[in-house]
Structure 1
Amino acid sequence: MTIDASQTAFPSPRRRGASRKRRRLALFGLVGIVLAAATALVLTALDDTIVFFRTPSEIAQRGETPGTRLRLGGLVKAGSISHDGPDVRFTVTDNARDMPVTYSGLLPDLFREGQGVVSEGVLQDDGTFKADTVLAKHDENYMPKDVADRMKAQGLWKGDEAGGAK
């Protein structure tokens, strides 16, 4: 009595290897799809939080709701700084819109009128920004070239007159 190999319950070693390769390939494909989906979800979730700061115009344009935690950046408007004990009030501007800021605490040494500032805090119901952190930016001599070029195009660059970077 001869047994036909095609009628046995066990596949041939050649078929077993092919199905193992197929399963491994399917597993790698599935892992790749899951990783791609996870990456897409993370990037979508981080889309708004990757921004280093928003200007007053961007905040107004986006219609941020009160209670939103964010970073506000711009220039300290001339004549807007007022001290009341440890509390400080000043206005951040991007030369298109202004936003009043309140802060309680010590200000950085570089903080002054006309200087770049980034403050982190919460947007209030009355439209003011309550900062819990204030960072003063270095002068424009430390700006990347593309940012300096945009400021020159808007007429805001003062580096050439002050002997700064060109």
Structure 2
Amino acid sequence: MTRKQKRLSSIGAILVVIAAAVGLMLSAMSDSVAFFASPTDVMAQVPGNAQRIRLGGLVEAGSIDHEAGEVVRFRVTDSVESVSVVYTGLLPDLFREGQGVVTEGTLGPDRVFLADTVLAKHDESYMPKEVVDDMKKRGLWQEGKGMPTVSGTAAPQAPSAGGAGT
């Protein structure tokens, strides 16, 4: 075998090892990727039982039910549809009715969302970008006014451009 053939076979072997490593990384990452969905998206197109999704919207007024232990049931809504959520664990301090929330988990066969992570808003004017974008797409979000009230609770307001209290 000539020097050129040895070099080409070494380069080929290195490329095969790199391709295998990239393939393994991509397959490992595909299990942990969670796609964003609103309650309307979840009801319209039910994801597979094993598919992780991020469900975002507002906590529906009057829907929070603390069960035995750390089990909490509540509903997430986008003012069109709502999805029941079951979460086991401690909720964030800022979690409450009418506030923006993003939950991460899987949808059970009975269309109850089994959350393993709950993220709540962090200040008075925050709502997750994905939720705002989805509501704008549906025509439910009005710039500067936020979204319509949900079940009698005023929804959070969008940040004002001027910075002064409006």
Say whether the fold is shared (TM-score over 0.5).
Answer: yes
Query: 1:149 offset after TM fit, Å?
Result: 5.8
Matched, 1:21 2:1: no
Q: TM-score, normalised to structure 1's length?
A: 0.61
Largest Rg, 1 or 2: 1
Partner of 1:79: 62
Aligned twin of 2:118: 134
CA RMSD of aligned residues (A): 3.6
Give aligned-pair identity as a percent: 46
Of 95, 102, 115, the match for 1:118: 102
- 2:90 corresponds to 1:90: no
Going from structure 1 to structure 2, the CA distance change for 1:59 and 1:26 (only over 3 Å counts) comes to farther
Alignment of 1:35-50 (within 5 A): 35-44=18-27, 46-47=29-30, 49-50=32-33
Residues 1:30 and 2:30 are matched in the alignment: no
Is 1:102–2:113 an aligned residue pair? Answer: no
Letter in 2 for 1:133: T
Letter of the 1:70 counterpart:
R
List runs of 5+ in structure 1 lacking aligned partners: 1-15
Q: Name the one with the larger helix percent.
A: 1
What letter matches 1:21 in structure 2?
K
Q: What CA distance in whole angstroms lies between the structure 2 residues aligned with 1:113 and 1:124?
A: 23
The structure showing larger relative contact order (alpha-carbon pairs under 8 Å, at least 6 residues apart) is: 2
Unaligned stretches of 5+ residues in structure 2: 146-156, 162-166
SS at match of 1:100: strand
